[in-house]
Amino acid sequence: MSANHFEDVRVVNNVRVEGVACSMPEKVCEVSDLAGKFGEENIQKIMASTGVFRRHVVDGECSSDLCVAAAERLIEDLAVDRASIDTLIFVSQTHDHTLPATACILQERLKLSVGVAAFDVALGCSGYVYGLWLASSLIAGGGSRRVMLLVGDTISKIVSEEDRSVAALFGDAGSATLLQYDETAQPMSFVLGTDGRGAKNLIVPAGGFRDRSGSASEISEPELRGPFDLFMNGAEIFAFTLARVPSLVKALHESRQDMGLAIDHYVFHQANKFMLEHLAKRMKLPREKVLLDLENVGNTSCTSIPLALSLAGLEQDNRVTGLMMLAGFGVGYSWAGCIIDYDKVWVSPMTYTGVSKEPV
């Protein structure tokens, strides 16, 4: 594979997505409530641009709690034998601890076999598609037979309430996706890429081992954002997205031309309304095929793709069928896209941490 062309397509065979479940916190924060802090006119502009009107945010829960709720729902709905799950992957930027790996804790909480392979992956906006690629590659290579992929973030915990660029944008959610070996499954096509030159444009500078005390941060602003808070350079993120995503989508389209198949739905990382609508227009994608579902949940980082799919109302009898293009892009810089044939994939009703009710 060439080192300079991120458009290279990686194909994985003999893997089927069995089901998807998502979970959100019960607590809801209205964006309009921030008008007293940032001004009514500014908040109206933010809502119009981002498309976010309210967000579900944790009230003490961690990403792992949200993922456990989703996983338990999926296991129950599909009557999964826990002993059949041989691999557990946890994708998140908001882990429970510096160590041990949260996946180890999740193995015990979900009562999976001690023979399960469990590990963490630290990725954000592209994390769900990267997780699908990693899980499906393990299965296709014979190293695993059934993988539980848990993807979740609680970004609200690292956002300064005084930072207008992010305070009204991020929500929290968790997801569970079950994949297994199936020699009759249609091939999955993946495009993956990384450009670490953009790392500084979406970052929490302190708290890791590079700067544990927060003393060396260069992007802190008094009374706005501290070294342990999320910093986002929105203009640079937008420019990166416009530069990378169209080529990613083009490569995936070209990879499936020989099969004569049309994409039924495009499920992109739910960054913000303006960005997604601009991308759809620029790439001349049918607007009705591009899922957009930020209004009641916000940008939920690595969980946004499965969450958008779960909220879209595409399923009949809790099952979704169709050819899906998924694409995540952002923090890192990192990007990942795939085409997956959803063959009656189970989608569980939304679960709320601590409360069971219908979605907002």
Q: Any idea which residues carry the catalytic annotation? A: 125, 269, 299
Backbone angles phi, psi at 355, to 5 degrees: -140, 140
How far is the C-alpha of 109 from the C-alpha of 357, rounded, in Å? Answer: 23
Task: Find tokens 């599909």 and name the residue.
Answer: 78
Instruction: Give the 3-state secondary structure of residue 360.
Output: coil
Element (H, E) at 135: helix 127-140
What is the per-residue DSSP string for 173-242? EEEEEEEEE-TTSPPEEEEEEE-GGGGGGEE--SSSSS-SSS-S-SS-BTTTB-TTS-EE-HHHHHHHHH
Query: What single-letter amino acid sits at 8?
Result: D
Angle of helix 273-282 relative to helix 234-255, nearest 10 degrees, comes to 40
Query: What single-letter amino acid sits at 75?
Result: I
Summarize the chain as % helix, strand, coil (round to 5).
Answer: 35, 30, 40
